[in-house]
C-alpha cells in the first residue's frame, strides 16, 4: 500500500495478467469493456503511474525532444521555446533544454544525447553542425533533427525559417520609401549565413534603388548592444553620416538609438533606425522600435510539427519559410532635409 504500485500489483489484485493491464492502460490493444473499467479504476485507486524508464527501455523511445539554442540567455528564443514546448506537450513529448553556447563540443554532446536515447529528436537553433567539416552530413541527415531559425550551410536537414534576405530588403525599402538615401547597416557576426543574408538584403535594396553602397556604411557588428553603440559612433563621425541605420537585430538597434540620443540626435527626426526580430518589449521602447517581426511562436510550433513528422519516418520534410512582417513604429520617419 505504501510502495509504488507496479503493473504486476494491479494485475494480481484483479486476477488478470500484466499484459492485459498494460494494454488497458496504454489504450492500445483491444481489451473487453468490463475488464477495461476495472483496470482503470484499480489504477486510479492505487494511484498507479507507469515507470517511464521501463517503458522507454522497452519501447525504445524516450518521448522527449531536445531543443538546442546558441544562448539560452537570449530573449530572442523565448517565444520559439514557448511554441516548441506547446506543440511538444500536445503530442505528449517533453522538452529537454540544450544550451550550446556556440561551443562545437557542446553541440556534439547534444547529438550524442540523441544517440543515447535521451531524446527521440532534436530541434537545432545553432548555426553549426558538429563534425560537419568531415562531410558527415549523410550520417546526420539520418538523425531526426530539424533546424529552426538558422541555416546550416551544405546541409539538407529539414528546416523552418524566414526569408532573411527578403525581410531585410523590405525593411530597407521602407527607409528608401521615406526618402532616405544614406542608409547604413550594422551587420551581425559575418560570415554567418543569417547575418550575410540580412546584409545582402540591405545591399540589394540599395542597389535596386540605384543608391550607392559605400563600404563605410557597412559596419560589422556581433548582435551586441555595446558594439553597436561604438559602431554607431563611427557612423556618426563619417563626413557624410547616414540618415538611417538598419541593424541586423533589435538589441543593436537599441544600442544605436541610445548612442544617437547620447549625441543629441533625434530619432527619427535626425536619424531613422530599423531593427530585426521584434524582441520582447521592443514596442515599449521610446520611441517604439520599427523592426522586422518574425512569427517566433509559430516557428517553434512548426519546427516541432516537422520534427514529429521526421520521427515518424515521413518523407524528408520540405523546408518551410514563414512570413515576416515589418512593424513600422516610431523610430523611422521621413529623411531629414540634408541641406
Partner DNA sequence: TTGAAAGCGCTACCAG
Partner DNA sequence: CTGGTAGCGCTTTCAA
Residue among 2, 28, 47, 315 that touches DNA (CB under 7 A): 28
How far from 324 is each of 58, 168, 171, 179, CA to CA, in Å? 44, 10, 11, 23
Partner whose footprint covers residue 85, from a second copy, DNA, none (CB < 5 to 8 Å by kind): a second copy
Interface pattern 255-294 for a second copy (x via CB under 8 A) = x-xx--x------------------xx--xxx--------
117 touches a second copy (CB under 8 A): yes
CA distance 126 to 110: 12
Least spacing, CB of residue 57 vs a second copy, in Å: 4
Query: Of 8, 226, 261, 262, which lies in the binding site for DNA, with binding defined by CB under 7 A?
Result: 8
Can you tell me which of 1, 2, 4, 173 binds DNA, judged by CB under 7 A?
4
Task: For 178, list phi and psi in degrees, rounded to 5.
Answer: -85, 5
User: What would the 3-class secondary structure string for 121-145 be?
Assistant: EEEEECCCCCCHHHCCHHHHHCCCE
Residue 204 touches which member of DNA, a second copy, none, C-beta under 5-8 Å by kind = none
Which candidate, 188, 191, 101, places its Cα nearest to that of 153? 191
Among 36, 46, 74, 131, binds a second copy (CB under 8 A): 74
Interface with DNA by CB under 7 A: which range of 33-41, 107-115, 194-202, 241-249?
Answer: 33-41
Rounded distance, CA 105 to CA 117, Å? 19
Query: What is the C-alpha separation between 215 and 274, in angstroms, rounded?
Result: 19
Determine the interface stretch with DNA among 15-23, 96-104, 278-286, 309-317 (rule: CB under 7 A): 15-23
Q: Kindly state whether residue 7 participates in binding DNA, applying the rule CB under 7 A.
A: yes
As a three-state string, the secondary structure of 10-67 is HHHHHCCCHHHHHHHHHCCCCCCHHHHHHHHHHHHHHCCCCCHHHHHHHHCCCCEEEE
Enumerate residues 166-225 that contact a second copy by CB under 8 A: 225
- Measured between alpha carbons, how far is 120 from 200 in angstroms, rounded to an integer? 37
Residue 18 in contact with DNA, rule: CB under 7 A: yes
Q: Which among DNA, a second copy, none contacts residue 92 (Cβ within 5 to 8 A by kind)?
A: none
Nearer to DNA, 59 or 234 (CB): 59
CB 47 within 8 A of CB 102: no
Shortest spacing between CB 9 and a second copy, in angstroms: 15
C-beta of residue 125 within 8 angstroms of C-beta of residue 67:
yes
Which DSSP state fits 256? H
User: Which of DNA, a second copy, none does residue 269 bind (CB under 5 to 8 Å by kind)?
Assistant: none
Q: Is 322 in the site for a second copy (CB under 8 A)?
A: no
Q: Interface residues with DNA (CB under 7 A)?
A: 4, 6-8, 15-23, 25-26, 28-32, 34-36, 50-51, 54-55, 57-60
Amino acid at each position: 500500500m505504501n510502495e509504488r504500485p507496479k503493473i504486476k500489483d494491479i494485475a494480481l489484485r484483479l486476477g488478470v495478467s500484466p499484459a492485459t493491464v498494460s494494454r488497458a492502460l496504454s489504450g492500445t490493444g483491444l481489451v473487453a469493456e468490463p475488464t477495461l473499467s476495472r483496470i482503470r479504476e484499480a489504477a486510479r485507486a492505487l494511484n498507479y503511474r507507469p515507470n517511464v524508464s521501463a517503458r522507454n527501455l522497452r519501447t525504445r523511445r524516450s518521448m522527449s525532444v531536445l531543443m538546442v539554442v546558441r544562448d539560452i540567455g537570449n530573449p530572442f528564443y523565448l517565444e520559439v521555446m514557448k511554441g516548441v514546448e506547446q506543440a511538444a506537450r500536445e503530442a505528449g513529448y517533453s522538452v529537454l533544454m540544450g544550451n550550446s553556447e556556440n561551443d562545437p563540443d557542446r553541440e556534439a554532446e547534444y547529438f550524442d544525447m540523441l544517440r543515447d536515447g535521451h531524446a527521440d529528436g532534436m530541434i537545432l537553433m545553432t548555426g553549426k553542425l558538429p563534425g560537419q567539416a568531415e562531410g558527415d552530413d549523410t550520417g546526420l541527415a539520418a538523425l531526426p533533427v530539424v533546424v529552426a531559425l538558422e541555416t546550416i550551410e551544405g546541409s539538407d536537414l529539414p528546416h523552418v525559417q524566414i526569408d532573411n534576405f527578403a525581410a531585410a530588403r523590405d525593411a530597407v525599402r521602407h527607409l528608401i520609401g521615406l526618402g532616405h538615401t544614406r542608409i547604413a547597416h550594422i551587420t551581425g557576426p559575418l560570415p554567418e549565413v543569417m547575418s550575410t543574408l540580412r546584409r545582402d538584403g540591405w545591399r540589394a535594396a540599395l542597389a535596386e534603388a540605384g543608391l550607392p553602397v559605400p563600404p563605410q556604411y557597412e559596419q560589422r557588428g556581433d548582435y551586441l548592444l555595446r558594439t553597436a553603440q561604438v559602431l554607431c559612433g563611427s557612423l556618426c563621425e563619417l563626413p557624410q553620416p547616414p540618415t538611417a541605420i538598419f541593424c541586423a537585430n533589435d538589441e543593436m538597434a537599441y544600442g544605436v538609438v541610445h548612442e544617437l540620443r547620447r549625441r543629441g540626435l533625434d530619432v527619427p527626426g535626425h536619424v531613422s533606425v530599423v531593427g530585426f526580430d521584434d524582441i520582447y518589449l521592443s514596442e515599449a521602447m521610446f520611441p517604439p522600435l520599427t523592426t522586422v517581426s518574425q512569427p517566433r511562436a509559430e516557428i517553434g510550433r512548426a519546427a516541432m510539427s516537422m520534427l514529429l513528422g521526421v520521427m515518424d519516418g515521413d518523407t524528408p520534410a520540405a523546408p518551410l519559410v514563414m512570413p515576416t512582417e515589418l512593424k513600422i513604429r516610431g523610430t523611422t520617419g521621413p529623411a531629414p532635409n540634408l541641406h
